[in-house]
Structure formats: structure tokens, C-alpha cells
């Protein structure tokens, strides 16, 4: 075996593979005892509003992500199932 470190488990040369929809469906169908299972894809993006601009992390996901993170909405609403299925351009904005 190889020692843990930069090339070991979780190391720098670890190859990640995105989960397919079928992988998510299998997890939901066969993983019991989980509070929630949600897909997530993260990216840093430039956000612009009027003359203000900043770089922020954005997570593409569905409403189950709120349950998985135990996050409550202060105002607004979670994504609807139809928005999730359609990949609609809707977002929730964090307070920070």
C-alpha cells in the first residue's frame, strides 16, 4: 500500500467523478437513516448588482440541500419541484 499524504486517500492526486442522476436516485432509494440527500455543484462566480460587484461561492442544488444543511429560510421560499426539474434560473441568497 501507499502511505497517506498528498497522493494518499483524499490527497491531491485523487480523481473525482461527478455523480450522475442515476447515482443520486440509487442513494435516495437505498440509503436509509439519512436526514436528506441532495446533489450539489459548487463554483466561484462574479456577482454584479448595479455598480456593486463581488466574487461569491454558488451552489447548484435542490431544496433537499436546505434540509441536509439544517438551514431555515428567513424569507422567501425553497425551490419548487418544477423549477428543479426544469433547471430554472432561480436562487436563494444568503445573508452574508
Q: State yes or no: pLDDT of 3 exceeds 60.
A: no
Give me the pLDDT at residue 82, please: 93
Across 70-85, average pLDDT: 90
* Choice between 13 and 80, residue whose per-residue pLDDT is larger: 80
Q: What's the confidence (pLDDT) of residue 18?
A: 77
- pTM summary value: 0.65
**DSSP string of 24-92?**
HHHHHHH--S-S----EEEEEEEEEETTEEEEEEEEEE-THHHHHHT---SSS-PPPHHHHHHT-----
Percent of the chain with pLDDT over 70: 85
Confidence of residue 35 (pLDDT cuts 50, 70, 90): confident
d(Cα 23, Cα 53) in Å, to the nearest integer?
Answer: 37
**Based on the number of CB atoms within 10 Å of its own CB, is 37 exposed (0-12), middle (13-18) or buried (19 or more)?**
middle
Query: What percent of the chain has pLDDT above 90?
Result: 31
Amino acid at each position: 500500500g501507499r502511505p497517506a499524504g498528498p497522493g494518499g486517500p483524499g490527497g491531491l492526486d485523487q480523481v473525482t467523478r461527478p455523480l450522475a442522476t442515476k447515482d443520486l436516485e440509487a442513494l435516495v432509494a437505498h440509503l436509509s437513516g439519512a436526514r436528506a440527500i441532495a446533489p450539489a455543484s459548487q463554483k466561484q462566480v462574479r456577482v454584479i448588482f448595479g455598480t456593486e460587484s463581488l466574487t461569491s461561492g454558488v451552489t447548484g442544488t435542490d431544496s433537499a440541500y436546505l434540509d441536509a444543511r439544517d438551514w431555515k429560510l428567513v424569507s422567501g421560499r425553497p425551490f419548487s419541484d418544477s423549477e428543479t426539474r426544469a433547471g430554472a434560473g432561480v436562487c436563494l441568497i444568503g445573508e452574508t
